[in-house]
Chains A and B, each alone.
Chain A
Amino acid sequence: SAVISQKPSRDICQRGTSLTIQCQVDSQVTMMFWYRQQPGQSLTLIATANQGSEATYESGFVIDKFPISRPNLTFSTLTVSNMSPEDSSIYLCSVEPTGVSTEAFFGQGTRLTVV
């Protein structure tokens, strides 16, 4: 199993500003994943973060808007840049310790409201 701490748990931000979300895992993992859950929607994968390489972004998500850092095997950050109200969502980090999606573990999420 894996225990994931995600910070902040929630925030209210002004449009045009940026917010960095942190994700700390209690064990070393190769891949970390960042998801977004917009109101009433499913969880959508933003990007996959590997340690030591550039993050891989899914269609519709770009590095300039969602820069990701992965400085070591237990930590990652996601920044939501130049925020607009449409970025109001829950952002979740996830890890799959076994390397395949048999049992992904999630942080508690960051509820972001942009005003």
Chain B
Amino acid sequence: DQQVKQNSPSLSVQEGRISILNCDYTNSMFDYFLWYKKYPAEGPTFLISISSIKDKNEDGRFTVFLNKSAKHLSLHIVPSQPGDSAVYFCAASVYGNEKLTFGTGTRLTIIP
């Protein structure tokens, strides 16, 4: 039972344009969501998070949007840069519980 889903295994975006990565979840108990970025041969690194009391969180070029009614979140990267090429994982948790449930990841390729 995949509780966190990233339905697009890959995405290609022109440099300078907006990248939008999507994530859906099924467990209504989740109230904290995170995005991680992973380069080859490295562990995932934390990018940005959002709690369920918000619908948007912004950090520089990265913005995460949360739609609780649709159980959907998205990560926007603008403008996209070549260094953004990586695999992006969405993760969810119940706040106060240390367990993270990850999606399967989306490989983002930024085309120069």
Show the binding face of A for B, using Cβ within 8 Å. Answer: 4, 6, 9, 31, 33, 40-45, 48, 92, 94, 96, 99-109, 111
Contacts and interface: CB of A to CB of B under 8 A. Distances in A.
Given A42-B89, A43-B102, A45-B99, 14 more contacts: A4-B43, A6-B43, A31-B98, A42-B2, A42-B102, A44-B102, A92-B43, A101-B34, A101-B99, A101-B100, A102-B32, A103-B49, A106-B45, A108-B42
A89 to B, nearest CB: 14
Given A40-B104, A42-B89, A42-B103, A99 B98 contact: yes
Contacts, number: 66
B32 A103 contact: no
Interface of B: 2, 4, 32, 34, 36, 41-46, 49, 89, 91, 93, 95-105
B26 to A, nearest CB: 14
Nearest to B92: A101
5 contacts: A9-B41, A100-B98, A101-B95, A104-B46, A109-B43
A92 B98 CA distance: 16
A106 B44 CA distance: 6
Contacts of B46: 103-105
Contacts of B105: 42
B21 to A, nearest CB: 14
Nearest to B104: A42
Contacts of A42: 2, 4, 89, 102-105
Residue among B98, B100, B101 with the highest chain A CB neighbour number at 10 A: B98
B49 A43 contact: no
A4 B41 CA distance: 14
